Structure 1
Amino acid sequence: MDEVAEFSKSLLKSMAELRQAGELLDITLKVSGRKVRAHRIVLASGSPYFKAMLTGSLCEREKEEIELKGIDDGILRTLVEFLYSGNISVTEANVQNLLPAANLLQIKAVTNKCCEFLKHQIHIINCIGIAKFADTHDCKELYEYACDFIHEHFKDLCNSEEFNQMEPNELANILSSENLNVDSEENTFEMLERWLQYDPNRRRAYVPKLISHIRLPLMSFKYLTNMYENNEFICESVSAKEAVNRALQYHISEDRSKLMGEKKMQVTCRRPAKMLCAVGGKNGFSATLESVEIYHINTKEWVEVAPLSFRRLDYATAVHDRKLYVIGGTKTKIRSCKGSVHRELDSSVERWNPETNAWTPVANMLRCRSHHASAVFHGKIYALGGYDGETYMRSVECYCPLTNQWSLSPPMLKSRSFFRAVVANGMLYVIGGCGQDINSVERFDPDSETWEMVSPMADKRIDFGVAVLHNYIYVVGGHNGTSHLSSVERYDCNRNKWSVVASLNLARTGLGAAVMGHKLYAVGGHSGSSYLNRVEEYDPDENRWQVIDKMLYCRCNLGLEAL
């Protein structure tokens, strides 16, 4: 410690010793009949509240004894001692009284220490209370921290007494958040329903207001229909039933973009994606990439991030809880002695956290798979079909991030490889690929745990891109066994009908597709003559593709996800 800092510390210590000895004291603070003596200069130096009182034009300036209201005498004594020592102990026993008092006296250092203490104490059982406490005392940083915790752990609040006791306006603020961590909008409604059922007679009056914060068009047609016909809270409210009916109209409309504008519907998913992530792939016959790059919607630039832990091909990718998973595929190694490429099937899975820019391994799949597909469905990651080194498979397994375990699920009806999987309208769809019929489509119903065939695509396709936009499934480009495709088809889940939309500007296979905002992106691939770093953006309102910013690297058979 330098001499100046040492002097400051000794000066403060000397003032404390003078106070303890009762020397030069010139002010007495009185609370509930009890008195705390101090030096005016110390109080005014450490607290803007006391500075205004003792140096301004207030009558207290001339008084030797000042009575304070709204503060506990023990807490006042603790705060005065802090002004002399710079030390204070924040505990569960005193924080609820200490923070308001520090706020009142404008002792910011103590307020900040109390807020930091509460941040470390936050839990499912007290997060709502801490948010209310912080809001009451205008602790904005603590309030935002508590709200972020509530949004992140929203699904876990259902067993919290604080959740059951929430006021309607408090719940409305949470339900309206873009950042709720829910697997589906059905989960959001089920949380609302739990709150209503806690005191149904008193709370049913709030259904019209609260249902307006549920993004009904994002629910499946089947779920909405059941709500409309059977849910007691919906059936008893004319306006709530009308809202559900509008969402049903959205599902069956052939012009959903127009309906969105007319009805001012909220059809954007919670926690909307802010970046595209392009993973690995290849840019030569034996040139396997381990690099990863991301495209930010705000900066409109591609930036390289941490690479895969090893080179792999023919894997699947998925996003769960804002983390990117790379699943299975073929591990590639260059044999240094011969310069040849060695490939072997792999069952490993790794996960990228964008906050830390680091990859970590998670549990391996039950079996090796390459050229398979994956999708996130009901909070689990599904790995479907693919090639095991001998045959094309129809087996399905799913991964639970909570338990870090894989388990078997009902197999698909057909064996598939080089295909895609996607979730739409409450169902899991698998589309095209190598197998018996490469234009066929089947879907999995989680209620009956059965697969069924639906309308096939117009074109046969392998190695295409797939994504869901405004509840339509889009399949983009690919290969039909004869030529590279630029065509794009769109599937209406409720009508069980495929239609053709605007084609890509350039035919390609091995591309990735993803949705960000209200746009569809087609990235990378191979044109038949060259590997591509080309990116095209599709606007469904204009039914038009345009070329935008190129990737840093050409990539074919890449993984592409929106985070």
Structure 2
Amino acid sequence: MMHIVCCDVEKHAVKMMEELHQIKRENDHCDFIVQAGDDVYYTHKNVLSAGSDYFKAMLEHDTKEHREGRVVFKDVDSECVKNCIDFIYSGNFEISYEKINNLLHVACLMQLEDVKDAVSDILAETITAASYFSTRHIADMYGLDAVSVKCDVFFHENIMEISNQPEFGNVEKNHILAILKSGNSKICEKEKLILSLKWIEYNQKKKLNFHECLEVIKFDKISAAFLQHLLETHAIISNDLAFYKFINQHLLKAAKRPEKTEEEIDKHELIILFDDNTDCIRSFNPITEKIEKFHDAKFEHLKYFGSIANGSYIYVLCRNKSVHRLNFRIKNSKWERMKDMIRDHGENPRSVFLSGSIFVIGGSCWVTSSAVETFHSSANQWVQLKDKPTEIANESLVSLNDSIYCIGGVGKDGTAVSSFCRFTPSSSEWVDLQPMRFPVCVSGVVAVNQNIFVIGGSRRNWSVNSLECYDVTSAQWTSLSSMNAGHTLVSAYHVGNWILTVSDYETCNELEKYDITNDKWIIVKPKLYQCYKIYKSAIVKHGLLNYYKYL
């Protein structure tokens, strides 16, 4: 009597692949050579035929390669050939972002669709403003449809950051017009005008098309002050008479309108105040200086957490590594549980938004850490990145020019530090920069043009009122006018020509704003915290949101 013996097929297959890979590494029983340049790889005909249609067709016929037991690849990356062979044997391979294009070329030659799919997933998950154009080029070259779709979504959601790339001038006019005409666009009319000017400026020949682009912009929602600023400072306008007349015409119309609270500062650009005296989230309008109800969905899951906002969502990052988000544009929306963080970042994870992704760096409170990870919201996935060289807690983060700047913080010995460094996610490179003049932690930080402003914070258990400015171009620090009072646990926001600061309610009793042009501080809301028990604040447009709730 015959018996059918069943085993764990998946376990058996994994074991077989491991054994085959080991045999290849030891060059046992090899009967076929794959050569790329000066590098030679010993393999097995049966394994290559089973893993690749390219090798199957080659080795099941009387080809030269079959007879000689050797195939030579010319004008290909040898490392990528090895990666593809490793994949055939083990189902795994390692690749750097810089080699992806070369790997896809080899994978296409060997007809390895699974490799193409795996690389497509990597490309789709790691799109940044800096890599957008190269990713789009690779997707078009190799027909990676899923990546192309992801690029389309990323382009519309991150167009302002993408517009800073030199390749932006090569974007087709129909794509620019689609952004400008889109009613669902996340950018305001002022930003659409800036976008159009950038696109025209990258290629002067496109001046002939400027009317078609600019005529779809709603100039009645752009302030006269901003249009006047463009006429006085923007070279492409002042150097072209037709362009100048076009903008000046709308300036004259704007000047006749009664002054409004600038419509580009609408609900999604308000400063959000987390008021613990009430069961809702409140907002502060930096133009009218009024405080009003913003949303009913107050976050009450845990007492300690940090947060960040982008687009329509507020993300909350908790000390137990859980992550929640709220679509604040929907009136009755509720908090939604997302995938947990991978590493422990303490009670108030320090986070920053860059190129469509959330980055969490270091620790918080008294938990020092060197951990770095990023969250891709579209895939609901966290990815670990290269650790920071030193363990820090309570550092301040700001994004600028496709990099993240890490400022100050607390070292392992519990004292504030003056360290200042830059992390570039696309290259995983950490660079130490000129330290600040004084050690400080939990400062407010904001980037304006090519300047990074570091405001207040804590030093040796007392609040400081300092304002330091780092010029990215000259790599120099400058001390500016101090605040009227010391602030710690500061959040800083750039609105128009002002920088506004909001502090934890227990450390300061006032909301202040800084006049960038005149280097002057003004108290906006004295005794603010006698009415509202504010722990932290946010400005959704700029993606800066910190919330820290004391016991």
TM-score (norm 2): 0.50
The one-letter code of the counterpart of 1:451 is: W
Q: Deviations over 1:395-447 (max 9, x none)?
A: 11111111111111222222121111110133111111112662101111234
Q: Does structure 2 conserve the Cα–Cα contact (< 8 Å) formed by 1:380 and 1:400?
A: yes
In the alignment, the residues of structure 1 paired with residue 229 and residue 349 of structure 2 have an alpha-carbon distance, to the nearest angstrom, of 36
Give the structure 2 partner of residue 358 of structure 1: 333
Segments of structure 1 that go 5 or more residues without pairing to the other structure are 1-154, 160-178, 199-211, 220-226, 241-257, 284-288, 330-344
Give the structure 2 partner of residue 393 of structure 1: 369
Q: Residues 511 and 196 of structure 1: is their aligned pair in 2 closer, same or farther, counting only changes over 3 Å?
A: closer
Deviation at 1:469, TM superposition (A): 2.2
Q: Residues 485 and 298 of structure 1: is their aligned pair in 2 closer, same or farther, counting only changes over 3 Å?
A: closer
* RMSD of aligned Cα (Å): 4.3
Q: Residues 489 and 352 of structure 1: is their aligned pair in 2 closer, same or farther, counting only changes over 3 Å?
A: farther
Q: Residues 180 and 543 of structure 1: is their aligned pair in 2 closer, same or farther, counting only changes over 3 Å?
A: farther
| Higher alpha-carbon Rg | 1
The one-letter code of the counterpart of 1:263 is: T
Q: Deviations over 1:426-484 (max 9, x none)?
A: 31111111126621011112342211111111121112211122332111111112421
Aligned match for 1:541, one of 517, 534, 537:
517
Q: Residues 410 and 400 of structure 1: is their aligned pair in 2 closer, same or farther, counting only changes over 3 Å?
A: same
Q: Residues 181 and 433 of structure 1: is their aligned pair in 2 closer, same or farther, counting only changes over 3 Å?
A: same
Give the structure 1 partner of residue 353 of structure 2: 376
Deviation at 1:377, TM superposition (A): 0.8
SS at match of 1:358: coil
Deviation at 1:379, TM superposition (A): 0.6
SS at match of 1:300: coil
Q: Deviations over 1:197-239 (max 9, x none)?
A: 99xxxxxxxxxxxxx95559999xxxxxxx99xx8x57x8999
Aligned match for 1:295, one of 263, 284, 297:
284
Q: Does structure 2 conserve the Cα–Cα contact (< 8 Å) formed by 1:521 and 1:535?
A: yes
SS at match of 2:372: strand
Give the structure 2 partner of residue 278 of structure 1: 273
In the alignment, the residues of structure 2 paired with residue 259 and residue 435 of structure 1 have an alpha-carbon distance, to the nearest angstrom, of 44
Q: Does structure 2 conserve the Cα–Cα contact (< 8 Å) formed by 1:515 and 1:562?
A: no
The one-letter code of the counterpart of 1:325 is: Y
Q: Residues 487 and 217 of structure 1: is their aligned pair in 2 closer, same or farther, counting only changes over 3 Å?
A: farther
In the alignment, the residues of structure 2 paired with residue 276 and residue 524 of structure 1 have an alpha-carbon distance, to the nearest angstrom, of 12
In the alignment, the residues of structure 1 paired with residue 174 and residue 532 of structure 2 have an alpha-carbon distance, to the nearest angstrom, of 54
The one-letter code of the counterpart of 2:518 is: E
Alignment partner of 1:348 is 2:323: yes
Deviation at 1:184, TM superposition (A): 3.3
Q: Residues 360 and 192 of structure 1: is their aligned pair in 2 closer, same or farther, counting only changes over 3 Å?
A: farther
Q: Does structure 1 conserve the Cα–Cα contact (< 8 Å) formed by 2:311 and 2:540?
A: no
The one-letter code of the counterpart of 1:315 is: F
Give the structure 1 partner of residue 411 of structure 2: 435
**Aligned 1:96-111 pairs, distance under 5 A:** none
In the alignment, the residues of structure 2 paired with residue 325 and residue 218 of structure 1 have an alpha-carbon distance, to the nearest angstrom, of 31
Give the structure 1 partner of residue 457 of structure 2: 478
Percent of residue pairs identical: 19
The one-letter code of the counterpart of 1:310 is: E
Q: Deviations over 1:301-320 (max 9, x none)?
A: 11233243315455322222
**Aligned 1:165-204 pairs, distance under 5 A:** 181-187=157-163, 190=167, 192-195=169-172
Q: Does structure 1 conserve the Cα–Cα contact (< 8 Å) formed by 2:405 and 2:420?
A: yes
The one-letter code of the counterpart of 2:233 is: K
Give the structure 2 partner of residue 524 of structure 1: 503
Alignment partner of 1:492 is 2:481: no
Q: Deviations over 1:144-174 (max 9, x none)?
A: xxxxxxxxxxx99x99xxxxxxxxxxxxxxx
Deviation at 1:546, TM superposition (A): 0.9
Aligned match for 1:263, one of 205, 219, 233:
233
SS at match of 1:416: coil
TM-score (norm 1): 0.49
